[in-house]
Amino acid sequence: MPPTGVLRAAGSRRTAGALTAALIVTLSVLAGCDSGGSRAAGGSGGEERRNSPKPVAVRLPPRHAGFDYQIGGAYPPPKGVRIVSRDRSDAPAPGLYNICYVNAFQAQPAERSSWPADLLLRDAHGRAVIDEDWHEALLDIRTPAKRERVAGQVNQWIDGCAQKGFDAVEPDNYDSYTRSHRLLTAADATAFMTLLSRHAHARHLAVAQKNTAELAGVRERAGLDIAVTEECGQYDECGVFAKAFDDRVVDIEYTDAGLRSAVTHWGDRLSIVRRDRDVSTPGSKGYVREAG
């Protein structure tokens, strides 16, 4: 999970250079999840199954290409970079393949008050469930009705990514169910991701799976096209993502050891970069960037 202490929420259009750098593919979005609605708390999963979309064209990033992770603030991409991920508040980098970061499953501290109270996941005592590492409230995606409502907000951000000219969207915190004290399930996460993917695909945006190696096997069902991983080298997960996404994986390592591992085993196949954990900008204290 990325550092989300900086509030990220600016415009441009996709350039011809980005089109030539991208591969045009046609994909069928598989609507539905085997167990998306089968939970004790209820939910038919109908919103994941109805209105199966027609195939749409999206652009995939080049494999094994120079990559930079700029979700902490945009800056001119270093020489050799062909893929960049930026926050939804920033503009795409002209001429590159651009991924738009969206915090989809949790509410950042500064945005928490903008969410209806009943869409924040709450425990048996009515307290909001918080991701303590980043002080973010988890969103309640336990039922089809709530998934539709949360998606309504997140999809507006996805629309903004498309309007600015991004090529793909990176919905973060897919794995928030693992921090929900068992209130959320993997099926809830996959069902919600399916809603986001369908919407993004309709706007011709590819969709990235963020981390969550345990769900890589259902990536087609969830409508996921590429992967954005953090420390897959450090935790020996790169192979899982490489297999599931046919090497269309961009990886961020935060330690020298992780970078060495990722480059040693996957440096000729994946797009790898070493960044500082704050994902800071050049000139900032602690800024680190090393190409994989």
pLDDT digits (tens, 9 = 90+) for 125-138: 999 999 999 999 99
Residue 31 binned pLDDT confidence (cut-offs 50, 70, 90)? very low
- pLDDT surpassing 50 at residue 44: no
E strand segments, the chain: 23-27, 56-60, 66-70, 81-87, 97-103, 106-107, 130-131, 136-138, 168-172, 206-210, 226-230, 249-253, 271-275, 289-291
Question: Angle at Cα 70 formed by Cα 220 and Cα 156, nearest 5°?
Answer: 55
Q: Which of 254, 193, 256, 257 is nearest to 225 (CA)?
A: 193
- pLDDT surpassing 90 at residue 5: no
Residue 288 binned pLDDT confidence (cut-offs 50, 70, 90)? very high
Average confidence (pLDDT) over 45-65: 68
Say how far apart CA 56 and CA 162 lie, in whole Å.
14
97 contacts 61 by C-beta, under 8 angstroms: yes
Positive/negative CA dihedral, 192, 193, 195, 199: positive
Q: What percent helix, strand, coil does the chain show, rounded to 5?
A: 30, 25, 45
pLDDT at 255 (0 to 100): 98
Q: 26 - beta bridge partners?
A: 57
Average confidence (pLDDT) over 249-269: 98
Give 158 or 49, the one with higher predicted confidence: 158
Residue 56 binned pLDDT confidence (cut-offs 50, 70, 90)? low
With H, G, I as helix, E, B as strand and everything else as coil, classify residue 25: strand
- pLDDT surpassing 80 at residue 162: yes
Cβ neighbours of residue 164 under 8 Å, at least 6 residues apart? 10, 11, 12, 13, 91, 92, 100
- How is residue 61 annotated by DSSP? P
Q: What is the pTM of this model?
A: 0.83
Average confidence (pLDDT) over 190-196: 98
pLDDT at 57 (0 to 100): 85
